[in-house]
Amino acid sequence: MRTLISLFLTCLILAPLTVHAAGSSSNDSNSSESNSTSYEYNSYGMRMAASYIEEENFLKAIAQLQKEVSRKPDNADAWNLLGFSLRKQGEYGAAETAYEKALSIDPKHTGAMEYMGELYLTLNMPEKSKSLLADLNRLCAFNCKDRDTLKAAIAAYEAKN
């Protein structure tokens, strides 16, 4: 029995975790996010951060992601999720900085573009959000959840305003 429990715990720790970073609840007044982007992480630190995001424990996610970006400063996914978590905590300036860092590492990071577009809608800057949507339209030929999610968020924003 002990061996079975040990095996289970080992698999749980070592298995990649897929996370849907956008949660169902939001601190953003104009958000229309709903599990838009999936990421698979193989490092323990990223899996921990992703699990905190799934639990909507953004403070723990921020702490974990700050460790991750200090260890691996060129990890665009970590910067993107740091921006997401900061945005969910209302730290909009810091979130924008994190998204910009993710995009400086990977200019084609569609997740960072989508989340930054959501940030701009929260800040009542729809033109910046539409500019990111145009970038996503150029990058994504079809079947692009990030583009489709931002497009829907802009439509929802426009319907409210």
Encode pLDDT of 33-87 as tens digits.
433 344 557 789 999 999 999 999 999 999 999 999 999 999 999 999 999 999 9
Q: Is residue 6 in a domain?
A: no
Give the number of other Cβ atoms within 10 Å of residue 8's Cβ. 10
Q: Is residue 8 in a domain?
A: no
Give the per-residue pLDDT at 89: 98
Per residue in 60-71, pLDDT (tens digit) is 999 999 999 999
The parent domain of residue 152 ranges over 15-160
With H, G, I as helix, E, B as strand and everything else as coil, classify residue 17: strand
CA distances from 86 to 13, 54, 64, 89, 136 (A): 26, 14, 12, 5, 23
Cα 151 from Cα 140, distance rounded (Å): 13
Mean pLDDT of all residues in the chain?
82
CATH number assigned to the domain comprising residue 34: 1.25.40.10
Total domain count, the chain: 1
Q: Is residue 124 in a domain?
A: yes
Q: Is residue 2 in a domain?
A: no
- Taking the chain, what is the end-to-end CA distance rounded to the nearest angstrom? 59
Asked if 146 contacts 154 with a C-beta cutoff of 8 angstroms, the reply is: no
Q: Is residue 38 in a domain?
A: yes
Q: Is 80 exceeded by the pLDDT of residue 102?
A: yes
Q: Is residue 60 in a domain?
A: yes
Q: Is residue 118 in a domain?
A: yes
Q: Is residue 9 in a domain?
A: no
Burial class (CB in 10 A: 0-12, 13-18, 19+), 114: buried
